[in-house]
Amino acid sequence: MGVLEDSELSILIQVIKKLRSPQGCPWDKKQNHESLIPYFLEEVYEVIESIDERNWESLEEELGDVLLHIAIQARIGEEDSKFNLMSIIRKLNQKIISRHPNVFNKNQKIDFNWEQQKHITSKRESRLDGVPKKLSALIRAHRLQQKASKTGFDWTNVEPVINKVYEEIKELESAISSGDQKKIEEEFGDALFSMVNLSRHLELSSENALRKSNNKFITRFKKLEKKIAKKGKKFEELTHEEMDKIWEKVKY
């Protein structure tokens, strides 16, 4: 067998082909591009969880599961004569090389801008195009701000960004005072958007930061539950002040 035929990638392609064959797995055979979406998303989140937990053995396995989904999607595309795994890889290689002339054409003097290059090669109408609508709102806000920044539409330092956060908070307070729920929602969204912008200027991911805060809250709340149970009490039997006192202890 040749190098390609004997490769692990080639084995994967043949395994997926077998699973999708008439003699294959009933579950795999009935899948289509759309039906696989929730499972694919679940695998991606499991990758994120493995990274957060710094569990490299788990990460290796979860990345394999993501690759499995890509291979199945590619096989479905091949069955419909649309594309296959090799054409996906070929197009990816071409795109990476064409969008990195500063790396692969070092003999040329190029004033390279990644976003501008994507805008040109993808023939987009707006510099904000290309950000998936299905992204989480935090990640999408971050990416939209990044794209706008590449055009020069951005602050050059963090101070005015912080001032903007305070400004949006004040507008939110004013909306709350008005009692207009629609206005409150709008100003709350603006405040969140400004916080995402601050995270970007601090070179942080608001999505990652919030996910870590969620995990920290879970850990502390479970400690709170144990402390209350140890006292032989229930949440309903404690005042807010009593719970807050225990909370302050489990925070550290």
139-181 tens-digit pLDDT? 999 999 988 988 888 999 999 999 999 999 999 999 999 999 9
pLDDT at 62 (0 to 100): 96
- Asked if pLDDT for residue 214 goes beyond 70, the answer is yes
Considering the entire predicted model, what is its pTM? Answer: 0.66
- pLDDT grade, residue 69 (50/70/90)? very high
Hey, what CATH topology would domain 137-204 get? Helix Hairpins (1.10.287)
Q: What is the mean pLDDT of residues 94-107?
A: 82
pLDDT surpasses 50 at 200: yes
Are both 8-98 and 137-204 of the same fold? yes
How confident is the model over 126-149, as a mean pLDDT? 88
Conformation bin of residue 113: beta by default, left when phi > 0, alpha when psi is -120 to 50: beta
The highest-level CATH class for domain 8-98 is mainly alpha
For the segment 57-66, the average pLDDT, to the nearest whole number, is: 96
The domain ranges of the chain are 8-98, 137-204, 209-250
Cα–Cα dist 131/142, whole Å: 10
Exposure pattern of 42-59 as b/e (b: 16+ CB <10 Å)?
A: ebeebbeebeeeeeeeeb
